[in-house]
Amino acid sequence: MPASWLRALERADNETLFLDVENMGRFRFLMDETNPDNPYPIGFAEDRQPDGNFERTRLRWFSGQGDNERWIGLNCAACHTAELRYGATRFRVDGGPSIIDFQSFDEEIALALRQTLDVDSKFERFAQRVLAARSIDDGPRLRAALGELTEWRETVVAANESGLRYGFSRLDAFGHIFNQVALFTGADSPTVRPSDAPVSYPFLWNTPQHDVVQWNGIARNEPRILGVNIGALGRNTGEVIGVFGELNVSRRSGASLFGRRAYSSVFVANLIEMEEQVARLQSPQWPEEILGPLDSGRVGRGRDLFAQQCRRCHQLVDRQALDTPITAQMSRFLPVPGESNTFPPPGTDPAMACRSYERTTAAEFYAGVTFTDEVGTQQRVGDEERISTLLAAMVRSALLDQAGELLTYLRSPTRGLVVNNPGEYAPGTPPAGASVTRLVTRDQVASAINEGAFQSPQTQGGEFNTLRDWGEFNACMTSNPSRLKAYKARPLNGIWATAPYLHNGSVPNLYQLLLPPSRRVPSFYLGTREFDVEMVGFRLGQTTENTFEYRTTNEDGSIRWGNYNGGHDYGNDLLSREQRYDLIEYMKSL
């Protein structure tokens, strides 16, 4: 929303400003205490750019207004900055998982906008703050613009509505992104579905070194052109599209040499810069001066156990070796015919893997676009298509439209490229003064973008027996094997700072993770940052901070899908209590 609007917005239920520190603390956003002049929490970023090609964000609320007002949104730091507390000491972990409750935040923003629109006294205070000394005649114009934004935010919130509460530490990011993709295709009746597969916010260190990222490996980290990770750029573009960004296909006619294009609010240079910052991020070391020294005897015994029990899936990496490639160790629910299926099925909650594979919507603008599926086969987008495929197509269309901006960014002398004509992509006659090297590079960049940042599911036949009841996911779990029906085992350096555990945050600490699933706690509380040194995670009990109850089962004892805490059991019952603590001590040292 416009930055001045957020600063002026009140809570729906009282006159407290929404950005009040205590109010933002309810959602567990962190404030930038090093800069008291910053009115926003960490991860809130202002942006300004011409809005003439957009629909949702082309708002006019005062006379004489230009087309580049400041807007506010979220960047990576909002979801990927952790803070832990031990005793009287607090410490930040850059790149660690946040504990924010984005679901409640998004809903309450929409509710606050609606109340501001409908309650005259609330709107008058809002207008006084936003318009300040401007003409009172701008009030109706502001109300009309507020109505447009409120309607859009309510549409998005309604699309994501789910009976499953995420609570702190989790978000169904792909559910939100997929629904946004469906709303942006240009279809008259897009298919949106509840965002009911929440996952923990992943930790970011070593991310650029992985061949694929995201919990189910759906996003590729390749190729690289002139030192720029085009795959990561595509993945981050998808995040922008899904979280408050805008993409407009109706105002962008025609196509480039390599595919269809669409206007978007993506800033490629900023995304590249942030990814390069992440590439320099090292995993956090156990702070002995705060959390106490490690027991060398336990570390040694734990190292031996880790080599026997864990290392097959969880590679060891040197935290300082930030250029070492990391190949994903994917644990698939179903064997993919013709491929080596090295690792056993994870047995964990299937919601995220299945939802990312199976959800579809009307393709509209993207129908007929070619794409490459997960096994390298050329396919065409159908009239009704999987949203993961449409996301890849949408990312390509956004980046192809900004290929000029990308080349302009790459022209710095340190990158060895100078581009005089960043807007020309037509084949044939080279732009005046353009070198062969520049033209080749231009085509390399566009071709790389066209390969896509996200893997698209390949449909295969076949039925597979199952030893358990997967409830509503039975069809997904017993047919149509795919690389995307899987979860990734990654290196565990810094794992001590990333609770709660498993992809869906269903296990509160490392000790619980090493128990047989039947012995894990069926419910626990979230919201505190108080660190448990012994179990390695957050404190479990209900407190004034620990206010959200995470329940893995329903009232009748049935599994609450999305919250299931089973799986990741590779002989856990064979470990003694002391062996579990030995493993934990070793994992603290990684």
DSSP-assigned states of every residue in 432-454:
TT--HHHHHHHHHHHHHHHH-SB
Position 420, amino acid = N
Segment among 3-17, 67-81, 260-274, 505-519 with least mean pLDDT: 260-274
- Tracing tokens 């003439």 back to the chain, one arrives at 52
Work out the percent of the chain whose per-residue pLDDT is above 90: 63
Q: Assess whether pLDDT exceeds 60 at residue 8.
A: yes
What average pLDDT score do residues 262-285 get? 90
Position 171, amino acid = L
Distance CA 374, CA 483 (A): 7
CA count, 13 A, side-chain hemisphere, 524: 24
Distance CA 362, CA 76 (A): 30
- Tracing tokens 């990308």 back to the chain, one arrives at 406
Residue with the larger pLDDT of the pair 271 and 123: 123
Q: What pLDDT score does 370 carry?
A: 78
Tens-digit pLDDT profile for residues 412-436: 544 433 333 333 323 333 333 333 3
Element (H, E) at 235: helix 230-242
Q: What pLDDT score does 415 carry?
A: 44
| Cα angle value 274/279/282 (rounded, 5°) | 120
Give the Cβ contact number of residue 548 at 10 Å: 20
What average pLDDT score do residues 321-347 get? 88
Q: What pLDDT score does 452 carry?
A: 57
Average pLDDT of the residues of the chain: 87
The pLDDT confidence band at residue 376, using thresholds 50, 70 and 90, is: low
Distance CA 248, CA 119 (A): 32
Position 372, amino acid = T
Work out the percent of the chain whose per-residue pLDDT is above 70: 87
DSSP annotation string for 67-80: S---EEEE-HHHHS
Residue with the larger pLDDT of the pair 436 and 518: 518
Q: Answer for the pair 333, 551: CB distance below 8 angstroms, yes or no.
A: no
CA count, 13 A, side-chain hemisphere, 51: 19
Sign of the four-CA dihedral 20, 26, 30, 33: positive
Q: Assess whether pLDDT exceeds 70 at residue 411.
A: no
pTM here? 0.90
Domain edges within the chain? 1-161, 167-283+328-488, 288-318+492-589
- Whether residue 430 is preceded by a cis peptide bond, meaning omega within 30 degrees of 0, is no
Query: How many residues are recorded in the chain?
Result: 590
Q: What pLDDT score does 378 carry?
A: 78
| Cα angle value 570/573/575 (rounded, 5°) | 90
Q: Answer for the pair 425, 398: CB distance below 8 angstroms, yes or no.
A: no
